[in-house]
Structure 1
Amino acid sequence: MGKAAKKGIFLTTSRFSHEAEDYVKGLDAKIILIDGERLAELMVEYNVGVDPVATYEIKKIDSDYFL
């Protein structure tokens, strides 16, 4: 804020306090808070820092085939 930033992202592997979340909501600047749980979700979703161990294929019956 001291450099007149209009947006930013703060990451933590832990959690943000309620006070920090409330503080960010009151700012004019667009600040995104990403806590540890959301960070882990994003890592898995975009394959950053994770390796797939197994993949499963799920099949359903094609009813039209049997008509």
Structure 2
Amino acid sequence: MLGFLINDEEQREMEYLIKRELEELLMDMEDYRIDQIVKNSMKERYQTVFNLYRRIASKEECIKYMPRRTGNQ
């Protein structure tokens, strides 16, 4: 297991960067022009980034970015 120490300002910056990445992935996953194979890779990346976000954000903030369940999951 790895760990590192960050101050409050660095935590806020990490939250901002991760939120932007999550929003970008969500927007791209809804784009009909993107192939399903690519979307599957994006879903895996979203899950990884979301798990990282869960470590630094509050529960209320995490709920906003929780992956949505679809009929085939």
Given the two structures, how large is their TM-score scaled by the length of structure 1?
A: 0.25
Which structure: larger Rg?
Answer: 1
Structure with greater proportional strand content: 1
Given the two structures, how large is their TM-score scaled by the length of structure 2?
A: 0.24
Structure with greater proportional helix content: 2
